[in-house]
Amino acid sequence: MSGSHLVDAHVHTDNSCDGHDSLMVICEHANRAGLRGLAVTDHAECHRYWRDHFDRAVRNSFFEIKKAQAAFRGQLAIGAGLELGQPLHDPAAAQDALSAAPWDYVIGSLHLIKDHPDFWKVDYTTADVPALLNCYFQELYDMVCWGKFDALGHMTYPLRYIVGREKIPVDLAEYRDAIAAIMHKMIDNHIALELNTQGMRTEYGRPTPDLDLFQLFHALGGRMVCVGSDAHFAKDVGANIADGFAVLQAAGFDEITIFDRREPIMLSIM
């Protein structure tokens, strides 16, 4: 595989509450790692958007991206992105984040279901896992129907914690119809499916989602896929992107999609 299209489409800076490094440090690292480009996708967590001042954070993030684009011009392509968390928990917050800047790329993510903590904080010793997952897929379906984003982030995010950390087995075959319905709606609404490599660096050891769901997406006619590290440290920028490309190739994809001013561009990964 040629490394010429190594692009990391999911990166957090210290403008995200859980990000650790400044964008300048991240870009230096991405350059040394041989990346062609990255998309900065700091968080806008809609369920606590106003309380925790994400309205300021997303505008600040865009300003930092503009500075980095000027500093790294000709060396590194830097996309201005946003990770919009659970937009339907506060659609007005989502709309504020979307209109805050001329974004290149918006990831839609679901980190929690209504009236529950983030999946990484759920107490799984007392939780009804099938009920949680049914709610998760129902909320994802509602999100992709709403559709005001370019890629669905880390589909099956709860499995990082349920399977990866808690070692509770989950058979996704039980949710196949719900997942297929989500994917059909994504295809109708031109929403890409993200392969998130974060889990490949943890005890989970797998991308989110895994190969089987990319095979399903491809079989249903999906062609737009993105790959991101979900790095929260500069050292993780670009991590496992080439491994992610290999998973996509195994599922039948020969291109990834990146976004410029919210318009898709196809890049070969062969």
Q: Which residues bind Zn ion (CB under 5 A)?
A: 83, 109, 230
Parallel/antiparallel/unpaired status of strands 263-268 and 255-260: antiparallel
CB of 4 to Zn ion, least distance (A): 25
Q: From residue 111, give the alpha-carbon distance in Å to each of 27, 46, 87.
A: 26, 11, 11
Separation between Cα atoms, residue 208 and residue 244, nearest integer Å: 10
Q: How far is the CB of 262 from Zn ion (least distance, A)?
A: 19
Q: How many CB atoms lie within 10 A of CB 129?
A: 16
- Residue with smaller CB distance to Zn ion, 161 or 218: 161
Strand residue runs (E) in 121-190:
151-152
Residue 107 Cβ vs Zn ion, minimum distance, rounded to whole Å: 7
Q: In this complex, which beta carbon is closest to Zn ion, that of residue 14 or of residue 83?
A: 83
Q: Which is nearer to Zn ion, 64 or 83 (CB)?
A: 83
**Alpha-carbon dihedral angle through residues 229, 230, 236, 241, given to the nearest 10 degrees:** 0
Written as one letter, the residue type at 9 is A
Contact residues for 239 (Cβ-Cβ < 8 A; gap 6+): 197, 200, 201, 229, 231
Whole-number Å distance between alpha carbons of 109 and 178: 17
Question: Would you say 17 or 71 has its CB closer to Zn ion?
Answer: 17
Q: What angle, 0 to 180 degrees and rounded to 10, lies between the N-to-C axes of helices 211-219 and 176-188?
A: 50
Task: Give residue for tokens 């349920």.
Answer: 162
| Least distance to Zn ion, CB of residue 174, Å | 24
Task: Please identify, using beta-carbon distances, which residue of 20 and 184 lies nearer to Zn ion.
Answer: 20
CB of 83 to Zn ion, least distance (A): 5
Of the pair 150, 230, the CB lying nearest Zn ion is at: 230
Closest CB 73 distance from Zn ion, rounded Å: 26
Residue with token string 């370019």 = 150
